[in-house]
Amino acid sequence: MTDRCATHMNTGIGKDNNMSDVVENPDEHRFELIIEGSDEIAASYFRERGGRLVCTHTIVPPELEGRGIGSRLAKGILEALRASGRKAVLLCPFLAAYHERHPGYADVVADRDSSGAAR
């Protein structure tokens, strides 16, 4: 897997692309997107700090990169946060870039100060 920087959330994403729903796996401190027909998953790791999820990095298996899997995972994470009323600090460059391209998720993204802490 390449570093790009369980509560079931029915996001409705990826149904036509051999993807299941995004699942929050709090024991592993990550969100997961299981890739059907594969032993692989895409995952985005987080830690909890100050009532916020701090998303630190996202991983997609190298052989599956470039197929929109990371974007499906990002969308599922942001939708799950919205549904649960939580906010995240996006330290992961991939998730931060996704948010820049999809500013409609501003309600679930928390600001951070220069130390990376949520405000």
Average pLDDT over residues 74-95: 96
- What is the rounded distance in angstroms from the CA atom of residue 31 to the CA atom of residue 46? 8
> Does position 10 have pLDDT exceeding 70, yes or no?
no
pLDDT band at 45 (very low <50, low <70, confident <90, very high): very high
Is 92 within 8 Å of 44 (Cβ atoms)?
Answer: yes
The pLDDT tens digits for 13-43 are: 334 444 458 999 999 999 999 987 888 999 9
- What is the rounded distance in angstroms from the CA atom of residue 79 to the CA atom of residue 94? 16
Q: Per CATH, which fold does 2-108 belong to? A: Aminopeptidase (3.40.630)
Strand duo 88-90 + 52-60: pairing: parallel
Range list of H helices, 3-118: 69-84, 93-101
Spans of all domains in the chain: 2-108
Is 86 within 8 Å of 55 (Cβ atoms)?
Answer: no
- Phi, psi angle pair for 54, to nearest 5°: -105, 110
